[in-house]
Structures are given as C-alpha cells and as structure tokens.
Amino acid sequence: MAIYESQELRKPPISQVGIVRWLRVNLFSSKVNVGLTLAALYMLYVIIPPMLGWMIFDANFNFGEFSFLGFEFGEIMATNDNCGRAAACWPFIYEKFDMFVYGFYPRELVWRVDIVFALAASLFVIVRLVRNYKYKNKVLLAMIIGFPIASFFLIGGGVFGLEVVKTHQWGGLMLTLVIASVGIIISFPIGVLLALGRQSNLRVINFFSTIYIEFIRAVPLITILFMASFVLPLFFTGGISFDKLLRALIAITLFQAAYFAEVVRGGLQAIPTGQYEAADAIGLNYVQKNALIILPQALKISIPNLVGSSISLFKDTTLVLIIGLMDMLAMVNMTANDINWLGRETEGFVFVTMTMWIFLYSMSRYSKKLEVRFSTDHKN
C-alpha cells in the first residue's frame, strides 16, 4: 500500500505576488507601458526636484526671531536683498499676508473681518450639528438671512458705532469671498425666476427670459463688467452714483443668474409631467404648484450642478481685477511694487494660486460628494 504524503505547496513565483506583481501589472505590463512609465518618470524628474527646490529646499524661511519656552529660535527676518533670486522668499508673503487677505482694510479694524470669517466657519459646523434637529429648517433660514446682513454691517460698518470702511478699501481674499458670496446669494433667486420664466407658457415672459439667458451666456463676462463700469452709470440720472464694487457686483449677479437659470431649468425638465398634472389636479395655483411640488424636487436634483456653477463664479471673481478692484490677484502686483520687496511677483503668484486652488479643489470635491449623495439612479 502506497503511502501518500502531502507535499508543501509551492510558493507562487516572486513575479506574481506583492509589490513586484503590482509593478508588473500597473506599470510594466507591456513594452508600450514600460516606455510610457519611463517617460513619465523622466518628466517627473525634470519638473518636481527644481520645483520643490524653489519652493522648499532652497527657499528662505527666515520669518524673524521668536522665543518658545525660554529658547530663542530663528534668525533675523530676511529682507529682499539677502533672500536671493534663485528660490522663493517666503518672508515676503509672511510680511504681506495681511495685504493678501484684507487688502487696504484699516489694520486696526481687521478684527471685524476676522469675526465674519469665524462666523462663516462656524456656519459649516452648525449646519452639520442641526442636521437632525426638529427646527432645522428655521435655524438654517435664519442663518441664510442673518449671516449676509451681519457680515455686511461688520465689514462695511455704519451701525452700532462701528466705523465706516469705504468699499475702495476692501480688498484681498476678503473681497474675493464677498463678491463670490453676494453673487451666489443674490443671483440664485433671480436664476430660479428666469428658469421658471423660460419654462412658462406665457409667451412674453418666455420670450424675454430666453433672450436674456441666451444673450448673457453668449458673451464673455468681461464685456458685461465693462458695460457695468462704463455704461450702467449712464442709465441713471439725478446724482445716483455707483461705486466700483457695486458695479462689479451687479455685473456678476446678472451674469451668474443666467447660468443658474440654465442649471435650474435642467432640474425642472427632469421632473415628470405627472407631478405638474397631479399638482393641477388637486387644485394648486401656479405659485403653490411651483413652491410646494415642483421646485423642491427640481432644486434638489440641481444641487450638484448649482455647486458646479458656483465654482465657475468663484473662478470668475478674479476678473474684477481688470476693472480695477483690489482682489487677491491684484495684490500680487501691488505688493511686489513695494520699494522694499521689488520683483517678488512670482512668490505672490504662487501664493495666490495655491490659495485659490485649495478653495476651488475643496469645492469641487464637495460637489462630487453631493453628486454621489443625490444620485438617484441605481447604477451600482
């Protein structure tokens, strides 16, 4: 009788397990892929080390002396001359940080802007906290109405003994955020009305809404900004004057309303006719039908696209630089014209680019998340 002994299993070949297998499958699966991988690695080698060198390893980080737990750290703050031209000079950004964030806002009053920033940040926390609270909608509504008003008076001043700060002193990241939020908040209701107008059976209203939306979408924002700054004042008499910021806000709001309208219209078109017919059948009038049945559904499915459109608006706020507002991008040239820091545009550009990128990237991630949360089709 033969005795069978089980032999130990042979291990899979080294090329088929672990990191080697991963490399073979993902990077070197064919001759073409080997070539592509090597080319990509070479490209990274050419781009990344000099970039990191400029930004970090060769850069100057001498922000000045400071003491911590009784020990002295750091060197005396770098100046433009001892910074060198070959790499970044971050002390420049450190010193001009307030300019980039607040523009020419009076230094002793920036605490008011900081409160607004803090309020905005706490809004996000509150929204998450009240998600399951009974009066959630009332809280949210109060915030949506209260926050812009509070911010307006905090930044602009004029009540409760707060010193008035004229809009030409507003600037930097603060101005960018003000323009973007005002643009989004005011243009949204206009956009909804335009969308309803374009879907309406009333010929006149339909005609004008369509003409408006299509016209605005066909021309670049810059032409509308120019219109607002050169032509708009001519439409009014009797000493009504608009300051620069208000003109830019009007232009951006009118512009964004058309884009929001198209997004909302997309949502409206996705609502089945049955919903309209059911609303009619139970005797709701036009306002009730839209406010209670159609819009809640239509807006919900348009939320991801509304966020997407808001992202575009955020990008477009940089254009106000061209009509002479002092937004964050304008601060690049403004700070590099300082006699003590001549020729530091590159640092400014990199700083502004990174700040904007962080904002826009997080917004786009958020919109992706919303898209997943609101997607009702059962793909998976």
Partner 1 sequence: MKQDKTLLSFLNNNETRAIAFQVITLLIIAFVIYSGISNLMFNIEAREIHTGFAFLSNRAGFDINESMITYTPEHSNLQVFYVGLINTLVVAVVGIIFATIIGLMIGIARLSNNWLISKLAGGYIELFRNIPILIQILFWYNIALLTLPSPRGSFGFFDSIFINKRGIYVPEPVSEPGFVWVLIAFVLGIVLTVFMRRHFRQKHDKTGVHTNTLGYTAGLIFGLPLVVFFLLGSPMHLDYPSLQGFNFKGGRTFTPEFLALTFALSVYTATYIAEAIRSGIEAVNKGQKEAAAALGLTQTQSLKLIVLPQALRVAIPPTINQYLNLTKNSSLATAIGYPELMSAFGGTVLNQVGQAVEILGMTMAVYLVISLCISLLLNVVNKKMSIKGR
Interacting residue ranges for partner 1, rule: CB under 8 A = 26-27, 29, 33, 36-37, 40-41, 43-44, 201-205, 208, 215, 217-220, 222-223, 226-227, 230-231, 233-237, 315-316, 318-319, 321-322, 329, 332, 343, 345-346, 349, 352-353, 356-357, 360-361, 364
Which residue lies nearer to partner 1 by CB, 24 or 300? 24
Q: Which is nearer to partner 1, 166 or 365 (CB)?
A: 365
Please, which residue, 21 or 126, has the CB nearer to partner 1? 21
- Residues 355, 317: contact at Cβ < 8 Å? no
Least CB distance from residue 237 to partner 1, whole Å? 5
Residues near 308 by Cβ (< 8 Å), separated by ≥ 6?
263, 364, 367
By C-beta, is 166 or 368 nearer to partner 1? 368
Least Cβ distance, residue 105 to partner 1 (angstroms):
22
Q: Which two tokens stand for residue 112?
A: 């008011």
CA neighbor of 357 nearest in space, from 322, 329, 321: 329
**Would you say 54 or 152 has its CB closer to partner 1?**
54
Q: Whole-number minimum distance, CB 126 to partner 1, in Å?
A: 27
User: Closer CB to partner 1, residue 76 or residue 204?
Assistant: 204
Looking at beta carbons only, is 243 or 280 nearer to partner 1? 280
Q: Is the Cβ of residue 78 or residue 332 nearer to partner 1 in the bound state?
A: 332
Query: HEC profile for the chain?
Result: CCCCCCCCCCCCCHHHCHHHHHHHHHCCCCHHHHHHHHHHHHHHHHHHHHHHHHHHHCCECCCCCEEECCEEECCCCCCCHHHCCCCCEHHHHHHHHHHHHHCCCCHHHHHHHHHHHHHHHHHHHHHHHHHHCCCHHHHHHHHHHHHHHHHHHHHHCCCCCCCCCCHHHCCHHHHHHHHHHHHHHHHHHHHHHHHHHHHCCCHHHHHHHHHHHHHHHHCCHHHHHHHHHHHHHHHCCCCCCCCHHHHHHHHHHHHHHHHHHHHHHHHHHCCCHHHHHHHHHCCCCHHHHHHHHHHHHHHHHHHHHHHHHHHHHHHHHHHHHCCCCCECCHHHHHHHCCHHHCCCHHHHHHHHHHHHHHHHHHHHHHHHHHHHHHCCCCCC
State the minimum distance, in angstroms, from the CB of residue 352 to partner 1: 7
Q: Shortest distance, CB of residue 261 to partner 1, whole angstroms?
A: 16
CB of 276 to partner 1, least distance (A): 14
Between 44 and 270, whose beta carbon lies closer to partner 1?
44
Q: How far is the CB of 347 from partner 1 (least distance, A)?
A: 11
Minimum distance, C-beta of residue 284 to partner 1, in the bound complex (Å): 13
State in angstroms the smallest separation of the CB of 77 from partner 1: 24
Work out how close the CB of 272 gets to partner 1 at its nearest, in angstroms, rounded to a whole number.
Answer: 22
Residues 6+ apart with CB under 8 A from 59: 87, 88, 89, 90
Sequence-ordered list of residues with C-beta below 8 angstroms from that of 336, at least 6 positions apart, any chain: 342, 343, 344, 345, 348
Q: Which is nearer to partner 1, 80 or 346 (CB)?
A: 346
